[in-house]
Amino acid sequence: MSQLSLILLGCLVASGAASVLPSARILVVKDIKEFVVQHPGVHLQAMEKEVVPSKAREAGSLTVRYNLGARIGGDRLVAQGADTFNYSQLQDVSLQLTYPESGAGAIVSYVQILCTQDDSDGSAYVIAGGIGQRLISIVLEAKNTRNFSYHVEYYGQ
């Protein structure tokens, strides 16, 4: 990858069970359009987005679910990661999630990201690898939020 600011979140499989590793480096993708201009070979694939209705959520917060692929017979949870960010004023948050952190991971069949944020405005794009491959890198964005948290799950074989 280039010298962009990224949050690289990778999780490795140990004895068939998913495990979580801490963030390795922190760099931030500030503008997805600028990222594409700087990397002309990148093809963005938008993830499916759904605002999840919830009666029990905190006042002013929304849960947004991003999905890609589908669960298939024999796949399993191979990695997961989560983080929370709180700001004193409204922010546009953008970060990159990558599975695996290094080496070759399982063949990815499905990815789900659950985000809690103040506004439903945001997106998630695959920028490298993808379903059916051993690598996936996703740029996750949330707009106009003071509070942002995510939980990502990677399924594969």
Torsion 52-68-117-145 (CA) sign: negative
In a domain, 33, yes or no: yes
In a domain, 6, yes or no: no
Per residue in 18-37, pLDDT (tens digit) is 434 334 333 456 677 777 78
Give the count of beta carbons closer than 10 Å to the beta carbon of residue 77: 15
Query: Structural domain of residue 42, as residue ranges?
Result: 13-156
In a domain, 147, yes or no: yes
pTM recorded for the entire structure: 0.76
In a domain, 132, yes or no: yes
In a domain, 7, yes or no: no
CA angle 74, 80, 83 (to 5 degrees): 160
Domain count, the chain: 1
In a domain, 71, yes or no: yes
Per residue in 81-124, pLDDT (tens digit) is 999 999 999 999 999 999 998 888 999 999 999 999 999 999 99
Torsion 11-78-1-148 (CA) sign: negative
Amino acid found at 104? A
In a domain, 65, yes or no: yes
